[in-house]
Structure 1
Amino acid sequence: MDSSERADRITFPKFADPERAVRLFLDLAGDYGAEEVAVVRNPSYVYPAFDLYILAPRRRTVREGLLGVVKDMDGTTTTTEPLCIHSLEYMVRRITGRMGKEDWSGLDPEGDYPHIIGNSTTKHVEYLIRRYERWIDLEAFKRAYLSSAIWTLSVGQDEGRKREVRNNLSVLGLGGLLEDGRFKDLVERRTFDEARVSEAVEYFVRNYKVCLEGFTDKVRAAIDIYYARYHEILAAIAKGQGERLSKELLSGGRRLVEPMPGVGMFLALIKGWLGEDIGLFFEEMREHLISQAGYDVKRLEPYRERLVPLGRFFQENPTKVAIVTSSIEYEANIVLNEVFDVIRKQISDWPLPEEKKERLLPCFRDPRSLYDGVVTATDSSEIRLKPHRDLYSIALHQLGIPPGQFENVVGFEDSESGTIAIRAAGIGLCVAVPFTGTRGHDLSAASYVLHGGLPEAVLVQGCFLPEGRLRKYFA
């Protein structure tokens, strides 16, 4: 009987006094073999301020075989973090009126980035409101908020966001604005004329009271400003303008959205599509690990002989994969389509026979056909995003993996909150693959911290299969 079955046999009261509740909690932790508990802070408007999670016992390998992989999207699968950071910085500029570089140099990579990467949007915005509250220009804030609300309601594509904006307008004392003829005309045009909107916003500010006095109200309005900017850029990416925007907003030839190193190769491997041809990627992985993780050439050479057996294993035992993100579904769809578009272009440079490349291209046509589970913030709620376990629990359910088999699942994350969420969902084998923006995070909840990312997970760790599991595939 596994720990989850034993826990199911325990009879719990519906209510308990604090002393008895502590005893029950300890008994439950003991049944799961847990040695750690995560204390998770909730958004400022949620009671109670903290939740407690029993964390799954740490593992270094899967128990038997790799039944499932759950992977974070932003920062682990793709480089959308620059887009998020840009949108958050834009939000701060709008609410403070400091639009130019001469007014403010921008978010501090050392001081700000650790607090605005890896958590929910609400927590990121809460941090920034506290951090820059002394700079807030309420008049600039009001104008930015109203303009963003009009953008979302007139040209935004996500209905969930539109509902949020309407609700926020009502909560902030602007319910009457929704019935204002001038406001309705702007929204119903389904276009966004900046000059016309700016003129109308001046009228609305003079004739309506915008309640932005309290902290929660500021956060609510700032989130709408952030999302309007984020979705404006995503809409352009969806129209094929991603490369142009990347050049405008980023330096160094980076793209706003592209896969992290090794993502396409890793997916093709564990799905069983590469087979023995994974061995052809050795040089590529070796060079990546030398440059990005400081590996020595001699240390990597012995791992070469394991690649072909690894490919044979997955050819015989393809793995289910779910992708998890705190982004809403609308955002995730655009991002994943862009990622797969880049992967298809990368395949042309893979060290594979041309025939194999042609067979792989259709596999990366549709993200929802490749992934066995896609879990977004739309499947949950803003107040239940990472470090809460919900998204990963939903992913495990979508994959059809029961709690008794969680020891045969690997979870990949790049952030502190994500690693906690994986462990809280019952996955003991949590692998942190930090990138530049999250290398300062506390990743101690993970069993591994791999600065070489997915190539290191494949080449050095052998996808975390137990010793001896590949023995028969060496023949």
Structure 2
Amino acid sequence: MKKFINGQGASRIVERMGKEFVVVKNPDYVHPSHDIYPLAPRITRPLKRIDAIVMDMDGTTTTTEALCIHSLEHMVRQITDRMSHRVWGGLEPAEDYPHIIGNSTTKHVEYLIKKYQPYIKIENLQKSYLEAVAWTLKFGRDRKRQEEVIGNLHYFGLKSLLEDKRFRHYLSLERIESLDFIELTRYVISEFAGAIKPRSVTDLVRFGIDIYYHRYHEILNVLLSGRGDALSKELFGKAGIRLIEPMKGVAVFLALIKGLLGKDAEKLLPVLLDNAAEMDPDFSRKLIQFSKKHRLSQLGTAFMKKPVKTAVVTSSISFEARVVLTEVFRILREQISRWPLSVSKKNKILKKFESYENYYDAVISASDSSEIRLKPHRDLYSIALHRLGIGREHFPNVIGFEDSESGTIAIRAAGIGMCIAVPFSETQHHDFSAASYVVKGALPETLLRYHLFLDVK
């Protein structure tokens, strides 16, 4: 095949690559402006066997999407000086959420910057950005993120901040009290804010990304310190709400596909129905008609004979994935310990769930790719398939689960024809045209109504 061809030649090749295609817009600073992907043939029939399952993290496996949305909204509030909910009600779920869930952080921030650019106040942008810089370099726990912040300082001509003796002194301190940090940020703002002069939307996006990560990583640090309950009141209006927890049905789903339940899967029918009721009591009542213990038993037996390779995929960076999944698996162990199973059976399951590294065959994060190649690009899921050792001939035996439009596109673009959309409240307005099925009851419905799309006789 020729490497260099004209438009007509390209068209002929594209026509042979498939029947469905998707156009993906790239960030403003990337050439070309769009990429075109052929989508894997859509599979809707039950599979004879399942070789692998790939699942999104935020919104599909965990509830962290709400924290990401909060951090994005917080970024907008900071740079527009609209911190009060009385002044601005916040992001619009129907209008904004489809653009800020499921893509890369760059795309999320780029959308918000373009929409709210008329309201940005330069002095608030300067202050918020320098606070983010100081916090990240002093308290940030992800080295790559710190390197990106330093890179941006060089890009914006703020190398002198890194060379400032007073700033370097604060960074060198082993411990720094909150009042000292406030003093540090005041000093940095007074000395360097005037040098911050955005020249383009791309500059504003760079500032916005660092401000967003400041807030999100600040939340993760609170979680790591064990003070999550206190922060939940600020974020959700009341204390006691977990900042991060598994989506409903995840515990049973993950134990089942690894062959850890066997015939005992039928004993967890009440657990799945309770999970469904917590999501929507009315839907739970409808789901009962599909709920048959023997089908769960059949699934459990099938996966016990052939456990499935499993990967979790996320557009979050590795530090975020590590914190989130560690907390999620801690809660999963709590849930499993309450299951109506024998002690020996639970101990076997708990051993597999002792850490997310012990459970998953592959964990793919944004750190494994590039910010410009995240969803809806196929790269993360292609990397997952490669890490799992799944050859192209076995792609039709893979199932992908996603909660966002971009995620479902990425799954199909990676060659996976069985793509299941499991939307939650924040993604209910997404376009799931790329999905084989849209399962509003998420994993409980996937198991009880669709029997995990496996042709179990």
Classify the TM-score, shorter chain. over 0.9
C-alpha separation between the residues in 2 aligned to 1:274 and 1:234? Answer: 33
State which of 349, 357, 367 in structure 2 corresponds to 1:368. Answer: 357
Instruction: Figure out how many residues of one structure are paired with residues of the other and give that number.
Output: 451
Task: Give the Cα–Cα distance (whole angstroms) in 2 for the partners of residues 418 and 251 of structure 1.
Answer: 30
Q: Distance in 2 between matches of 1:126 and 1:80?
A: 21
Q: TM-score, normalised by structure 1?
A: 0.91
Aligned letter for 1:148? Answer: A
Tell me whether 1:304 sits opposite 2:301 in the alignment. no
Q: What does the per-residue CA deviation read over 1:403-460, in whole Å, with 9 as the maximum and x for residues that have no partner?
A: 0000000000000000000000000000000000001000110000001111111111
In structure 1, the residue matched to 2:173 is 189
Instruction: Using the TM superposition, give the Cα deviation of residue 265 of structure 1 relative to its aligned residue in structure 2, in angstroms.
Output: 0.6
Contact 2:258–2:308 at 8 Å: present in 1 too?
A: yes
Once residues 118 and 14 of structure 1 are traced to their aligned partners in structure 2, the CA distance between those partners, rounded to angstroms, is: 33
Q: Which residue of 1 aligns with 2:383?
A: 394
Secondary structure at the aligned position of 1:111 is classed as helix
Evaluate the alpha carbon distance shift between residue 416 and residue 318 of structure 1 in structure 2; reply closer, same or farther with a 3 A threshold.
same
| Cα deviations by residue, 1:25-77 (Å, 9 ceiling, x for unpaired) | 212x1xxxx32001001111111110000100011246431110000000000
Match in the other structure for 1:222: 208
Q: Is the 8 A contact 2:22 2:38 kept in 1?
A: yes
Q: CA deviation at 1:309?
A: 1.3
- Of residues 39, 50, 53, the one that matches 2:37 is 53
SS in structure 2 of the partner of residue 431 of structure 1: strand
Find 2:262's aligned residue among 275, 282, 303.
275
The alpha carbon displacement at 1:247 in A equals 3.1
Task: Report which stretch shifted further, 160-169 or 71-80.
Answer: 160-169
> Partner of 2:370 in structure 1?
381
- Partner of 1:344 in structure 2? 333
Segment drifting more, 285-294 vs 221-230: 285-294
Shift of 1:359: 2.7
Offset of 1:344 from its aligned partner? 1.1
CA contact (8 A) 2:161 2:192 kept: no
Cα offset, 1:298, TM superposition: 8.1
Identity of aligned residues (%): 51
Q: 410, 417, 426: which is aligned to 2:399?
A: 410
Question: What is the alpha-carbon distance in structure 1 between the residues aligned to residue 210 and residue 301 of structure 2?
Answer: 49
Equivalent residue, structure 1, for 2:78: 94
Render the CA deviation track for 1:127-167: whole Å, top value 9, x for unaligned: 11112111111011011101101111111111110111011
Residue of structure 1 equivalent to 2:27: 43
C-alpha contact 1:173 1:211 (8 A) present in aligned 2: no
Q: Which residue of 1 aligns with 2:252?
A: 265
Q: Does 1:154 align with 2:141?
A: no
User: Which of 96, 100, 104 does residue 116 from structure 1 map onto?
Assistant: 100
Give the TM-score, by structure 2 length: 0.94
Q: Which residue of 2 aligns with 1:246?
A: 232
- How do residues 70-85 of structure 1 correspond to structure 2 at under 5 angstroms? 70-85=54-69
Residue 421 (structure 1) aligned to one of 380, 403, 410: 410
Measured against aligned partners, the alpha-carbon deviations of 1:241-267 in whole angstroms (never above 9, x if no partner) come to 223322332146532210000101101
Q: Report SS of the residue matched to 1:38.
A: strand
Shift, 1:185, TM fit = 2.2
Aligned partner of 2:115 in structure 1 is 131
For 2:320 and 2:281, how far apart are their aligned partners in 1?
A: 29
CA distance in structure 1 between the partners assigned to 2:93 and 2:286 by the alignment? 32
Say whether the 8 Å CA contact 1:288–1:452 is kept in structure 2: no
- CA distance in structure 2 between the partners assigned to 1:199 and 1:240 by the alignment: 28
Whole-angstrom distance in 1 between the partners of 2:229 and 2:287: 39
Distance (whole Å) between structure 2 residues aligned to residue 211 and residue 263 of structure 1: 47
Which residue pairs with 1:164 in the alignment?
A: 148
Check the 8 A contact 2:252/2:272 in 1, yes or no: no
Q: Determine the structure 2 residue equivalent to 1:457.
A: 446
Task: State the alpha-carbon separation in 2 of the partners of residues 73 and 465 from structure 1.
Answer: 22
* Structure 2, unpaired ranges of 5+: none
Q: C-alpha separation between the residues in 1 aligned to 2:62 and 2:139?
A: 26
Aligned-pair CA distance for 1:320: 0.6
Separation of aligned partners in 1, 2:2 and 2:386: 26
d(CA) in 2 for partners of 1:299 and 1:233?
Answer: 38
Distance 1:464 1:293 in 2: 23
- Paired residue secondary structure (1:113): helix
Residue in 2 that maps onto 1:358: 347
Q: Is the 8 A contact 1:292 1:451 kept in 2?
A: no
> In the alignment, which of 158, 175, 194 is matched to residue 174 of structure 1?
158
Distance 2:76 2:169 in 1: 29
Partner amino acid, structure 1, of 2:413: A
CA distance in 2, matches of 1:456, 1:54: 29
SS at 2:23 equivalent: strand
User: Residue 80 of structure 1: CA displacement?
Assistant: 0.2
